[in-house]
Chain A
Protein backbone atom coordinates (compact mmCIF):
# COMPACT_ATOMS: atom_id res chain seq x y z
CA UNK A 1 0.00 0.00 0.00
CA UNK A 2 1.41 3.33 -1.03
CA UNK A 3 0.93 6.66 -2.73
CA UNK A 4 2.12 6.67 -6.33
CA UNK A 5 2.29 9.95 -8.23
CA UNK A 6 3.45 10.33 -11.79
CA UNK A 7 2.46 13.53 -13.53
CA UNK A 8 3.55 16.64 -15.42
CA UNK A 9 2.42 20.23 -15.19
CA UNK A 10 3.43 23.29 -17.17
CA UNK A 11 3.26 26.64 -15.35
CA UNK A 12 4.54 29.46 -17.53
CA UNK A 13 8.18 28.54 -18.19
CA UNK A 14 8.30 26.06 -15.35
CA UNK A 15 7.95 22.40 -16.23
CA UNK A 16 7.05 20.09 -13.36
CA UNK A 17 7.82 16.38 -13.90
CA UNK A 18 7.17 14.17 -10.93
CA UNK A 19 7.49 10.42 -10.53
CA UNK A 20 7.54 9.15 -6.98
CA UNK A 21 6.17 6.56 -4.61
CA UNK A 22 5.72 7.00 -0.86
CA UNK A 23 5.35 3.74 1.02
CA UNK A 24 3.11 3.32 4.05
CA UNK A 25 4.76 4.05 7.35
CA UNK A 26 8.05 5.21 5.80
CA UNK A 27 8.08 9.00 5.46
CA UNK A 28 9.50 10.22 2.15
CA UNK A 29 11.56 13.41 2.12
CA UNK A 30 11.01 15.64 -0.90
CA UNK A 31 14.25 17.55 -0.89
CA UNK A 32 15.00 20.48 -3.17
CA UNK A 33 16.18 24.07 -3.35
CA UNK A 34 13.51 26.75 -3.19
CA UNK A 35 11.70 27.03 -6.51
CA UNK A 36 12.40 23.41 -7.45
CA UNK A 37 8.70 22.52 -7.47
CA UNK A 38 8.31 20.76 -4.12
CA UNK A 39 5.25 22.69 -2.95
CA UNK A 40 3.65 22.46 -6.40
CA UNK A 41 4.08 18.69 -6.24
CA UNK A 42 2.25 18.53 -2.91
CA UNK A 43 -0.51 20.78 -4.24
CA UNK A 44 -1.04 18.48 -7.21
CA UNK A 45 -1.24 15.44 -4.93
CA UNK A 46 -3.69 17.22 -2.62
CA UNK A 47 -5.84 18.21 -5.59
CA UNK A 48 -5.73 21.97 -5.15
CA UNK A 49 -3.69 22.19 -8.35
CA UNK A 50 -4.47 20.12 -11.43
CA UNK A 51 -1.65 18.36 -13.30
CA UNK A 52 -1.70 18.47 -17.13
CA UNK A 53 -1.31 14.74 -17.45
CA UNK A 54 -0.47 11.70 -15.40
CA UNK A 55 -1.84 9.50 -12.66
CA UNK A 56 -1.99 9.72 -8.87
CA UNK A 57 -3.05 6.62 -6.99
CA UNK A 58 -3.49 6.07 -3.27
CA UNK A 59 -3.68 2.39 -2.35
CA UNK A 60 -6.55 1.29 -4.60
CA UNK A 61 -8.11 4.70 -5.09
CA UNK A 62 -7.34 6.65 -8.24
CA UNK A 63 -7.10 10.31 -7.19
CA UNK A 64 -6.19 11.61 -10.62
CA UNK A 65 -5.94 10.04 -14.03
CA UNK A 66 -5.76 12.33 -17.05
CA UNK A 67 -6.52 9.51 -19.50
CA UNK A 68 -9.60 8.29 -17.68
CA UNK A 69 -10.63 11.88 -16.84
CA UNK A 70 -10.61 11.19 -13.13
CA UNK A 71 -9.87 14.21 -10.92
CA UNK A 72 -11.16 13.79 -7.38
CA UNK A 73 -11.71 17.14 -5.62
CA UNK A 74 -9.46 17.73 -2.59
CA UNK A 75 -12.48 17.13 -0.36
CA UNK A 76 -12.61 13.47 -1.42
CA UNK A 77 -8.90 12.65 -1.51
CA UNK A 78 -8.30 12.09 2.18
CA UNK A 79 -5.03 13.99 1.99
CA UNK A 80 -3.87 15.79 5.13
CA UNK A 81 -1.90 18.89 4.19
CA UNK A 82 0.16 20.89 6.66
CA UNK A 83 0.81 24.27 5.05
CA UNK A 84 4.06 26.15 5.47
CA UNK A 85 2.31 29.02 7.27
CA UNK A 86 -0.23 26.57 8.76
CA UNK A 87 -3.28 28.29 7.12
CA UNK A 88 -5.28 28.30 10.35
CA UNK A 89 -8.69 29.96 10.05
CA UNK A 90 -7.94 33.32 11.69
CA UNK A 91 -11.53 34.06 12.71
CA UNK A 92 -11.97 30.80 14.60
CA UNK A 93 -10.61 29.70 17.95
CA UNK A 94 -8.23 26.77 18.31
CA UNK A 95 -11.16 24.54 19.25
CA UNK A 96 -13.23 25.72 16.26
CA UNK A 97 -10.31 25.16 13.92
CA UNK A 98 -9.93 21.58 15.08
CA UNK A 99 -13.70 21.04 15.01
CA UNK A 100 -13.73 22.24 11.39
CA UNK A 101 -11.33 19.39 10.62
CA UNK A 102 -13.59 16.91 12.43
CA UNK A 103 -16.69 18.00 10.48
CA UNK A 104 -17.45 14.46 9.35
CA UNK A 105 -18.30 13.54 12.95
CA UNK A 106 -21.49 14.74 14.60
CA UNK A 107 -22.55 15.84 18.05
CA UNK A 108 -20.88 14.17 21.03
CA UNK A 109 -18.49 12.12 18.85
CA UNK A 110 -17.17 15.30 17.36
CA UNK A 111 -16.72 16.98 20.73
CA UNK A 112 -14.93 13.91 22.07
CA UNK A 113 -12.58 13.83 19.08
CA UNK A 114 -11.80 17.54 19.42
CA UNK A 115 -11.08 17.25 23.17
CA UNK A 116 -8.89 14.23 22.51
CA UNK A 117 -6.80 16.15 19.99
CA UNK A 118 -6.66 19.26 22.18
CA UNK A 119 -5.22 17.10 24.92
CA UNK A 120 -2.87 15.14 22.72
CA UNK A 121 -1.33 18.33 21.34
CA UNK A 122 -1.32 20.11 24.73
CA UNK A 123 -3.75 22.76 23.51
CA UNK A 124 -6.52 22.37 26.10
CA UNK A 125 -5.65 25.58 27.93
CA UNK A 126 -5.53 27.46 24.62
CA UNK A 127 -8.75 26.05 23.21
CA UNK A 128 -10.53 29.40 23.17
CA UNK A 129 -7.64 31.49 21.88
CA UNK A 130 -7.46 32.92 18.37
CA UNK A 131 -4.61 31.63 16.21
CA UNK A 132 -2.92 35.05 16.22
CA UNK A 133 -2.53 34.84 19.98
CA UNK A 134 -0.51 31.62 19.70
CA UNK A 135 3.25 31.15 19.38
CA UNK A 136 4.60 29.56 16.21
CA UNK A 137 4.86 26.19 17.90
CA UNK A 138 1.30 26.34 19.23
CA UNK A 139 0.05 27.31 15.79
CA UNK A 140 1.78 24.31 14.32
CA UNK A 141 0.31 21.98 16.91
CA UNK A 142 -3.15 23.40 16.17
CA UNK A 143 -2.66 22.85 12.45
CA UNK A 144 -1.49 19.27 13.09
CA UNK A 145 -4.48 18.58 15.32
CA UNK A 146 -6.84 20.05 12.71
CA UNK A 147 -5.24 17.96 9.99
CA UNK A 148 -5.51 14.74 12.01
CA UNK A 149 -9.09 15.56 13.01
CA UNK A 150 -10.10 14.85 9.40
CA UNK A 151 -8.54 11.33 9.64
CA UNK A 152 -6.34 11.65 6.54
CA UNK A 153 -5.05 8.62 4.61
CA UNK A 154 -1.92 10.48 3.50
CA UNK A 155 0.03 13.24 5.22
CA UNK A 156 1.82 15.98 3.32
CA UNK A 157 4.05 18.38 5.25
CA UNK A 158 5.13 21.50 3.35
CA UNK A 159 8.35 22.73 4.97
CA UNK A 160 6.71 22.32 8.36
CA UNK A 161 9.54 23.90 10.36
CA UNK A 162 10.46 26.84 8.14
CA UNK A 163 8.13 29.30 9.88
CA UNK A 164 9.78 28.71 13.26
CA UNK A 165 12.89 30.13 14.85
CA UNK A 166 15.74 27.71 15.40
CA UNK A 167 15.10 27.42 19.13
CA UNK A 168 11.68 25.87 18.54
CA UNK A 169 12.60 23.83 15.53
CA UNK A 170 14.24 20.93 17.28
CA UNK A 171 11.35 20.31 19.65
CA UNK A 172 8.77 20.51 16.91
CA UNK A 173 10.82 18.29 14.71
CA UNK A 174 10.68 15.64 17.43
CA UNK A 175 6.95 16.17 17.75
CA UNK A 176 6.44 15.74 14.03
CA UNK A 177 8.56 12.59 14.01
CA UNK A 178 6.46 11.23 16.84
CA UNK A 179 3.23 12.09 15.03
CA UNK A 180 4.50 10.37 11.86
CA UNK A 181 5.62 7.32 13.84
CA UNK A 182 2.02 6.89 14.97
CA UNK A 183 0.67 7.26 11.43
CA UNK A 184 0.53 4.17 9.25
CA UNK A 185 -0.25 5.71 5.85
CA UNK A 186 2.18 7.28 3.38
CA UNK A 187 3.72 10.63 4.30
CA UNK A 188 5.73 13.19 2.34
CA UNK A 189 7.90 15.74 4.14
CA UNK A 190 9.01 18.65 1.98
CA UNK A 191 12.25 20.22 3.07
CA UNK A 192 15.33 22.03 1.89
CA UNK A 193 17.26 21.09 5.02
CA UNK A 194 19.21 17.85 4.64
CA UNK A 195 19.62 17.42 8.40
CA UNK A 196 15.91 17.69 9.08
CA UNK A 197 15.12 15.33 6.21
CA UNK A 198 17.84 12.85 7.19
CA UNK A 199 16.66 12.69 10.78
CA UNK A 200 12.97 12.36 9.97
CA UNK A 201 12.63 10.31 6.80
CA UNK A 202 13.62 6.88 5.52
CA UNK A 203 13.64 7.63 1.83
CA UNK A 204 14.31 10.69 -0.25
CA UNK A 205 13.32 12.09 -3.61
CA UNK A 206 15.48 14.97 -4.79
CA UNK A 207 13.84 17.68 -6.92
CA UNK A 208 15.76 19.91 -9.30
CA UNK A 209 14.19 22.49 -11.61
CA UNK A 210 10.82 20.80 -11.47
CA UNK A 211 12.08 17.27 -12.08
CA UNK A 212 12.02 14.55 -9.45
CA UNK A 213 14.79 11.97 -9.22
CA UNK A 214 14.13 8.31 -8.43
CA UNK A 215 13.27 7.61 -4.79
CA UNK A 216 16.25 6.13 -2.91
CA UNK A 217 17.06 5.39 0.67
CA UNK A 218 18.37 8.32 2.68
CA UNK A 219 21.70 6.65 3.58
CA UNK A 220 22.38 5.59 0.00
CA UNK A 221 21.69 9.11 -1.28
CA UNK A 222 23.96 10.72 1.30
CA UNK A 223 26.81 8.33 0.47
CA UNK A 224 26.38 8.69 -3.29
CA UNK A 225 24.13 11.57 -4.36
CA UNK A 226 24.61 10.82 -8.11
CA UNK A 227 23.89 14.40 -9.28
CA UNK A 228 25.47 17.76 -8.54
CA UNK A 229 22.11 19.10 -7.39
CA UNK A 230 21.60 16.30 -4.91
CA UNK A 231 25.18 16.60 -3.65
CA UNK A 232 24.64 20.33 -3.13
CA UNK A 233 21.44 19.66 -1.16
CA UNK A 234 23.37 17.25 1.02
CA UNK A 235 25.90 19.96 1.79
CA UNK A 236 28.75 19.32 -0.62
CA UNK A 237 30.46 22.58 -1.63
CA UNK A 238 33.52 21.53 -3.66
CA UNK A 239 32.87 20.77 -7.32
CA UNK A 240 35.11 20.60 -10.41
CA UNK A 241 34.93 18.98 -13.86
CA UNK A 242 36.34 15.46 -13.92
CA UNK A 243 37.50 12.93 -16.54
CA UNK A 244 38.58 9.30 -16.28
CA UNK A 245 42.24 8.76 -15.42
CA UNK A 246 44.85 6.51 -17.10
CA UNK A 247 44.01 3.51 -14.94
CA UNK A 248 40.73 2.12 -13.65
CA UNK A 249 39.75 3.67 -10.33
CA UNK A 250 41.68 6.85 -11.11
CA UNK A 251 40.07 10.16 -12.05
CA UNK A 252 41.63 13.43 -13.16
CA UNK A 253 40.56 16.89 -12.08
CA UNK A 254 42.39 19.33 -14.38
CA UNK A 255 41.17 22.46 -12.56
CA UNK A 256 42.89 21.42 -9.35
CA UNK A 257 45.71 19.55 -11.13
CA UNK A 258 44.84 16.37 -9.26
CA UNK A 259 44.69 12.68 -10.06
CA UNK A 260 42.63 10.94 -7.39
CA UNK A 261 41.58 7.41 -6.61
CA UNK A 262 37.77 7.10 -6.39
CA UNK A 263 36.06 4.08 -4.90
CA UNK A 264 32.85 4.58 -6.88
CA UNK A 265 32.95 2.98 -10.36
CA UNK A 266 33.24 5.36 -13.33
CA UNK A 267 30.04 6.00 -15.30
CA UNK A 268 29.86 7.48 -18.78
CA UNK A 269 27.46 10.18 -17.60
CA UNK A 270 29.76 11.56 -14.89
CA UNK A 271 30.86 15.15 -15.49
CA UNK A 272 31.71 16.53 -12.09
CA UNK A 273 33.66 15.52 -9.04
CA UNK A 274 32.50 16.52 -5.59
CA UNK A 275 34.41 16.52 -2.31
CA UNK A 276 32.36 17.18 0.86
CA UNK A 277 34.04 19.83 3.03
CA UNK A 278 34.17 17.45 5.98
CA UNK A 279 35.88 14.75 3.90
CA UNK A 280 39.06 16.81 3.47
CA UNK A 281 41.54 16.34 6.30
CA UNK A 282 45.19 17.21 7.01
CA UNK A 283 47.50 14.35 5.98
CA UNK A 284 51.12 13.40 5.47
CA UNK A 285 52.68 13.64 2.02
CA UNK A 286 52.54 10.28 0.27
CA UNK A 287 49.26 9.18 1.81
CA UNK A 288 46.58 8.02 -0.60
CA UNK A 289 44.87 10.97 -2.37
CA UNK A 290 47.09 13.48 -0.57
CA UNK A 291 48.06 16.75 -2.22
CA UNK A 292 49.84 19.92 -1.11
CA UNK A 293 47.81 23.12 -0.69
CA UNK A 294 48.13 26.73 0.26
CA UNK A 295 45.66 27.93 2.91
CA UNK A 296 44.11 31.06 1.41
CA UNK A 297 41.73 31.92 4.19
CA UNK A 298 40.83 30.57 7.60
CA UNK A 299 37.44 31.33 9.19
CA UNK A 300 36.47 30.30 12.66
CA UNK A 301 32.93 28.91 12.73
CA UNK A 302 30.83 28.12 15.83
CA UNK A 303 31.96 24.51 16.16
CA UNK A 304 34.62 24.10 13.46
CA UNK A 305 37.29 25.80 11.41
CA UNK A 306 36.60 26.56 7.76
CA UNK A 307 39.77 26.62 5.66
CA UNK A 308 39.82 27.68 2.02
CA UNK A 309 42.57 25.84 0.16
CA UNK A 310 44.26 26.27 -3.22
CA UNK A 311 45.95 23.09 -4.43
CA UNK A 312 49.51 24.01 -5.50
CA UNK A 313 48.91 22.41 -8.88
CA UNK A 314 45.59 24.22 -9.43
CA UNK A 315 44.85 26.29 -12.52
CA UNK A 316 44.72 30.05 -11.98
CA UNK A 317 40.93 30.48 -11.98
CA UNK A 318 40.07 27.14 -10.34
CA UNK A 319 37.56 27.24 -7.47
CA UNK A 320 39.06 27.06 -3.97
CA UNK A 321 38.53 23.94 -1.88
CA UNK A 322 36.61 24.28 1.33
CA UNK A 323 37.75 22.13 4.23
CA UNK A 324 35.83 21.94 7.49
CA UNK A 325 37.51 20.39 10.48
CA UNK A 326 37.50 20.24 14.23
CA UNK A 327 39.23 23.22 15.88
CA UNK A 328 41.64 20.94 17.76
CA UNK A 329 42.63 19.18 14.55
CA UNK A 330 43.39 22.51 12.92
CA UNK A 331 45.43 23.62 15.95
CA UNK A 332 47.58 20.50 15.52
CA UNK A 333 48.53 21.39 11.92
CA UNK A 334 52.25 22.36 12.03
CA UNK A 335 52.27 24.78 9.09
CA UNK A 336 48.92 26.55 8.71
CA UNK A 337 49.99 28.36 5.51
CA UNK A 338 51.10 25.37 3.53
CA UNK A 339 49.81 21.92 4.26
CA UNK A 340 49.02 18.57 2.77
CA UNK A 341 45.40 17.40 2.77
CA UNK A 342 43.78 14.16 1.64
CA UNK A 343 40.37 12.68 0.89
CA UNK A 344 39.47 9.02 1.23
CA UNK A 345 38.55 7.33 -2.09
CA UNK A 346 35.15 6.24 -0.80
CA UNK A 347 34.23 9.84 0.03
CA UNK A 348 34.84 11.16 -3.48
CA UNK A 349 31.57 11.83 -5.28
CA UNK A 350 31.26 11.16 -9.02
CA UNK A 351 28.32 13.23 -10.19
CA UNK A 352 26.19 13.95 -13.22
CA UNK A 353 24.83 17.28 -14.39
Chain B
Protein backbone atom coordinates (compact mmCIF):
# COMPACT_ATOMS: atom_id res chain seq x y z
CA UNK B 1 0.00 0.00 0.00
CA UNK B 2 1.25 3.47 -0.90
CA UNK B 3 1.26 5.62 2.27
CA UNK B 4 1.85 8.92 0.47
CA UNK B 5 -1.74 10.22 1.00
CA UNK B 6 -1.39 9.71 4.77
CA UNK B 7 1.92 11.57 4.85
CA UNK B 8 0.57 14.35 2.65
CA UNK B 9 -2.65 14.74 4.67
CA UNK B 10 -0.75 14.87 7.94
CA UNK B 11 1.70 17.53 6.78
CA UNK B 12 -1.03 19.66 5.24
CA UNK B 13 -3.11 19.40 8.41
CA UNK B 14 -0.13 20.10 10.68
CA UNK B 15 1.03 23.15 8.75
CA UNK B 16 -2.43 24.66 8.35
CA UNK B 17 -3.25 24.04 12.02
CA UNK B 18 -0.06 25.81 13.03
CA UNK B 19 -0.87 28.76 10.77
CA UNK B 20 -4.47 28.94 11.94
CA UNK B 21 -3.44 28.65 15.60
CA UNK B 22 -1.66 32.00 15.47
CA UNK B 23 -3.92 33.62 12.88
CA UNK B 24 -7.12 32.58 14.67
CA UNK B 25 -5.90 33.68 18.10
CA UNK B 26 -4.67 36.98 16.74
CA UNK B 27 -7.99 37.64 14.97
CA UNK B 28 -9.99 36.56 18.02
CA UNK B 29 -8.00 38.84 20.30
CA UNK B 30 -8.42 41.83 18.00
CA UNK B 31 -12.10 41.22 17.30
CA UNK B 32 -13.00 40.59 20.98
CA UNK B 33 -11.90 44.15 21.75
CA UNK B 34 -13.81 45.89 18.93
CA UNK B 35 -16.98 47.97 19.26
CA UNK B 36 -20.21 46.11 18.71
CA UNK B 37 -21.04 46.91 15.09
CA UNK B 38 -17.54 46.29 13.73
CA UNK B 39 -17.41 43.11 15.80
CA UNK B 40 -20.67 41.80 14.36
CA UNK B 41 -19.60 42.48 10.77
CA UNK B 42 -16.09 41.05 11.06
CA UNK B 43 -17.41 38.10 12.99
CA UNK B 44 -19.81 37.22 10.17
CA UNK B 45 -17.05 37.46 7.55
CA UNK B 46 -14.57 35.41 9.56
CA UNK B 47 -17.11 32.71 10.40
CA UNK B 48 -18.45 32.43 6.86
CA UNK B 49 -16.17 29.53 5.78
CA UNK B 50 -17.75 27.42 8.51
CA UNK B 51 -21.17 27.56 6.86
CA UNK B 52 -20.20 27.85 3.19
CA UNK B 53 -20.01 24.63 1.14
CA UNK B 54 -16.31 23.76 0.68
CA UNK B 55 -16.81 23.87 -3.09
CA UNK B 56 -17.79 27.53 -2.80
CA UNK B 57 -14.63 28.18 -0.78
CA UNK B 58 -12.65 26.34 -3.46
CA UNK B 59 -14.27 28.36 -6.21
CA UNK B 60 -13.53 31.65 -4.45
CA UNK B 61 -9.92 30.60 -3.81
CA UNK B 62 -9.48 29.74 -7.49
CA UNK B 63 -10.81 33.20 -8.32
CA UNK B 64 -7.86 34.63 -6.40
CA UNK B 65 -5.12 32.07 -6.79
CA UNK B 66 -5.75 30.62 -10.25
CA UNK B 67 -2.82 31.09 -12.68
CA UNK B 68 -4.72 33.76 -14.61
CA UNK B 69 -6.20 35.53 -11.54
CA UNK B 70 -4.94 38.46 -9.49
CA UNK B 71 -2.72 36.78 -6.94
CA UNK B 72 -2.04 33.65 -8.94
CA UNK B 73 -0.82 35.58 -12.00
CA UNK B 74 1.34 37.83 -9.84
CA UNK B 75 2.98 34.87 -8.11
CA UNK B 76 3.61 33.16 -11.43
CA UNK B 77 5.17 36.25 -12.98
CA UNK B 78 7.15 37.58 -10.07
CA UNK B 79 8.08 34.39 -8.23
CA UNK B 80 7.64 31.78 -10.92
CA UNK B 81 5.33 29.92 -8.54
CA UNK B 82 2.15 28.15 -9.51
CA UNK B 83 -0.19 28.43 -6.52
CA UNK B 84 -2.61 25.70 -7.57
CA UNK B 85 -2.24 21.98 -8.20
CA UNK B 86 0.77 21.50 -5.90
CA UNK B 87 0.72 19.61 -2.62
CA UNK B 88 0.94 22.81 -0.61
CA UNK B 89 -1.94 24.42 -2.51
CA UNK B 90 -4.15 22.40 -0.21
CA UNK B 91 -2.84 24.46 2.71
CA UNK B 92 -4.70 27.49 1.35
CA UNK B 93 -8.00 25.68 1.32
CA UNK B 94 -7.61 23.95 4.70
CA UNK B 95 -6.49 27.19 6.35
CA UNK B 96 -9.64 28.96 5.16
CA UNK B 97 -11.93 26.09 6.08
CA UNK B 98 -10.55 25.46 9.59
CA UNK B 99 -9.89 29.10 10.51
CA UNK B 100 -13.36 29.67 12.02
CA UNK B 101 -12.95 26.70 14.38
CA UNK B 102 -9.96 28.22 16.16
CA UNK B 103 -11.19 31.78 15.76
CA UNK B 104 -14.59 31.14 17.32
CA UNK B 105 -13.42 29.04 20.25
CA UNK B 106 -10.60 31.46 21.03
CA UNK B 107 -12.93 34.43 20.80
CA UNK B 108 -15.37 32.76 23.18
CA UNK B 109 -12.54 32.11 25.61
CA UNK B 110 -11.23 35.69 25.34
CA UNK B 111 -14.67 37.17 25.85
CA UNK B 112 -15.27 35.26 29.06
CA UNK B 113 -11.78 36.15 30.27
CA UNK B 114 -11.75 38.36 33.36
CA UNK B 115 -9.95 41.53 32.26
CA UNK B 116 -9.16 42.44 35.85
CA UNK B 117 -6.47 39.71 35.80
CA UNK B 118 -4.58 41.58 33.09
CA UNK B 119 -5.27 44.94 34.73
CA UNK B 120 -3.96 43.65 38.06
CA UNK B 121 -0.90 42.29 36.28
CA UNK B 122 -0.29 45.63 34.58
CA UNK B 123 -0.35 47.48 37.91
CA UNK B 124 2.21 44.97 39.18
CA UNK B 125 4.45 46.09 36.34
CA UNK B 126 4.14 42.94 34.20
CA UNK B 127 4.67 43.60 30.49
CA UNK B 128 1.91 43.27 27.94
CA UNK B 129 3.70 40.38 26.25
CA UNK B 130 4.03 38.54 29.58
CA UNK B 131 0.37 39.19 30.36
CA UNK B 132 -0.77 37.87 26.98
CA UNK B 133 1.33 34.69 26.89
CA UNK B 134 1.60 33.92 30.60
CA UNK B 135 -1.78 35.05 31.91
CA UNK B 136 -4.40 35.44 29.18
CA UNK B 137 -3.38 32.42 27.11
CA UNK B 138 -3.00 29.91 29.97
CA UNK B 139 -6.31 30.98 31.50
CA UNK B 140 -8.01 30.60 28.10
CA UNK B 141 -6.05 27.44 27.28
CA UNK B 142 -8.97 25.04 27.49
CA UNK B 143 -11.03 26.72 24.80
CA UNK B 144 -8.11 27.40 22.51
CA UNK B 145 -6.76 23.85 22.70
CA UNK B 146 -10.17 22.36 22.03
CA UNK B 147 -10.56 24.56 18.97
CA UNK B 148 -7.10 23.66 17.72
CA UNK B 149 -7.60 19.90 18.01
CA UNK B 150 -10.95 20.18 16.25
CA UNK B 151 -9.30 22.27 13.54
CA UNK B 152 -6.61 19.63 13.04
CA UNK B 153 -9.19 16.86 12.73
CA UNK B 154 -11.20 18.94 10.28
CA UNK B 155 -8.08 19.75 8.24
CA UNK B 156 -7.37 16.02 7.86
CA UNK B 157 -10.83 15.46 6.45
CA UNK B 158 -11.00 18.50 4.18
CA UNK B 159 -12.08 17.43 0.70
CA UNK B 160 -14.15 19.85 -1.36
CA UNK B 161 -12.01 22.97 -1.55
CA UNK B 162 -8.82 20.89 -1.54
CA UNK B 163 -9.80 18.81 -4.53
CA UNK B 164 -10.61 21.98 -6.47
CA UNK B 165 -7.39 23.81 -5.71
CA UNK B 166 -4.91 20.94 -5.46
CA UNK B 167 -6.64 18.34 -7.56
CA UNK B 168 -5.76 14.66 -7.33
CA UNK B 169 -2.35 13.58 -8.56
CA UNK B 170 -1.22 10.27 -7.06
CA UNK B 171 2.08 10.68 -5.30
CA UNK B 172 1.89 14.48 -5.49
CA UNK B 173 -1.32 16.11 -4.34
CA UNK B 174 -3.27 13.05 -3.20
CA UNK B 175 -4.65 13.27 0.33
CA UNK B 176 -6.61 10.66 2.26
CA UNK B 177 -9.96 12.16 1.38
CA UNK B 178 -9.23 12.70 -2.32
CA UNK B 179 -7.80 9.16 -2.48
CA UNK B 180 -10.95 7.67 -0.97
CA UNK B 181 -13.05 9.41 -3.58
CA UNK B 182 -10.75 8.39 -6.42
CA UNK B 183 -10.62 4.75 -5.34
CA UNK B 184 -14.37 4.56 -4.90
CA UNK B 185 -14.95 6.22 -8.27
CA UNK B 186 -12.74 3.70 -10.01
CA UNK B 187 -14.51 0.82 -8.28
CA UNK B 188 -11.68 -0.17 -5.91
CA UNK B 189 -13.96 -0.49 -2.86
CA UNK B 190 -11.53 -2.55 -0.81
CA UNK B 191 -8.73 0.03 -1.02
CA UNK B 192 -11.18 2.86 -0.39
CA UNK B 193 -12.33 1.10 2.78
CA UNK B 194 -8.72 0.84 3.99
CA UNK B 195 -8.29 4.59 3.73
CA UNK B 196 -11.67 5.17 5.35
CA UNK B 197 -10.49 3.10 8.32
CA UNK B 198 -7.19 5.03 8.47
CA UNK B 199 -9.07 8.31 8.50
CA UNK B 200 -11.50 7.05 11.16
CA UNK B 201 -8.60 5.95 13.33
CA UNK B 202 -6.81 9.29 13.14
CA UNK B 203 -9.97 11.32 13.81
CA UNK B 204 -10.93 9.11 16.71
CA UNK B 205 -7.43 9.42 18.14
CA UNK B 206 -7.59 13.20 17.88
CA UNK B 207 -10.92 13.36 19.68
CA UNK B 208 -9.79 10.95 22.39
CA UNK B 209 -6.69 13.07 22.87
CA UNK B 210 -8.91 16.12 23.24
CA UNK B 211 -10.99 14.36 25.88
CA UNK B 212 -7.96 13.16 27.82
CA UNK B 213 -6.48 16.62 27.67
CA UNK B 214 -9.61 18.16 29.11
CA UNK B 215 -9.88 15.56 31.85
CA UNK B 216 -6.27 15.96 32.93
CA UNK B 217 -6.60 19.71 32.96
CA UNK B 218 -9.76 19.37 34.98
CA UNK B 219 -8.00 17.30 37.62
CA UNK B 220 -4.94 19.48 37.76
CA UNK B 221 -6.74 22.80 37.78
CA UNK B 222 -9.27 22.94 40.58
CA UNK B 223 -10.17 26.47 39.53
CA UNK B 224 -12.01 25.26 36.45
A interface residue numbers (CB < 8 A to B): 43, 46-48, 73-77, 79-81, 83, 85, 87, 89-91, 100-101, 103-104, 130-133, 146-147, 149-150, 152
- The reply to whether B135 and A47 form a contact with Cβ atoms under 8 Å apart is no
B192 CB to nearest A CB, Å: 46
- The reply to whether B119 and A43 form a contact with Cβ atoms under 8 Å apart is yes
What is the bound-complex CA distance between A332 and B49, given in angstroms? Answer: 81
- Cβ of B78 under 8 Å from chain A: no
Total interface residues on B, using CB and 8 Å? Answer: 20
B interface residue numbers (CB < 8 A to A): 114, 116-117, 119-127, 130, 135, 138-139, 141, 221-223
Across the interface, name the chain A residue whose C-beta is closest to B127: A75
- B117 — which chain A residues lie within 8 A by C-beta? 87, 89-90
- The reply to whether A74 and B119 form a contact with Cβ atoms under 8 Å apart is yes
- The reply to whether A48 and B119 form a contact with Cβ atoms under 8 Å apart is yes
- The reply to whether A101 and B124 form a contact with Cβ atoms under 8 Å apart is yes
Across the interface, name the chain B residue whose C-beta is closest to A158: B116
A142 CB to nearest B CB, Å: 12
The contact sample of 26 A-B pairs, CB cut-off 8 A, is A43-B119, A46-B119, A47-B123, A48-B119, A48-B122, A48-B123, A75-B126, A80-B123, A81-B123, A83-B120, A85-B116, A87-B114, A87-B116, A87-B117, A87-B119, A89-B139, A90-B223, A91-B135, A91-B138, A91-B141, A100-B126, A103-B125, A103-B126, A132-B222, A132-B223, A150-B123
Of the candidates B116, B124, B141, B223, the one whose C-beta lies within 8 Å of that of A100 is: B124
A252 CB to nearest B CB, Å: 50
| Dominant SS among interface residues on chain B | helix
What is the bound-complex CA distance between A282 and B117, given in angstroms? Answer: 54
A49 CB to nearest B CB, Å: 9
Asked, given contacts A83-B116, A85-B116, A91-B223, whether A146 binds B139 with beta carbons under 8 Å apart, the answer is no
What is the bound-complex CA distance between A146 and B114, given in angstroms? Answer: 18
Most buried by A among B123, B126, B127, B221: B123
Most buried by B among A75, A77, A81, A132: A75
What is the bound-complex CA distance between A237 and B220, given in angstroms? Answer: 51
Closest 5 pairs (CB-CB, A-B): A132-B223, A87-B120, A74-B122, A90-B223, A48-B119
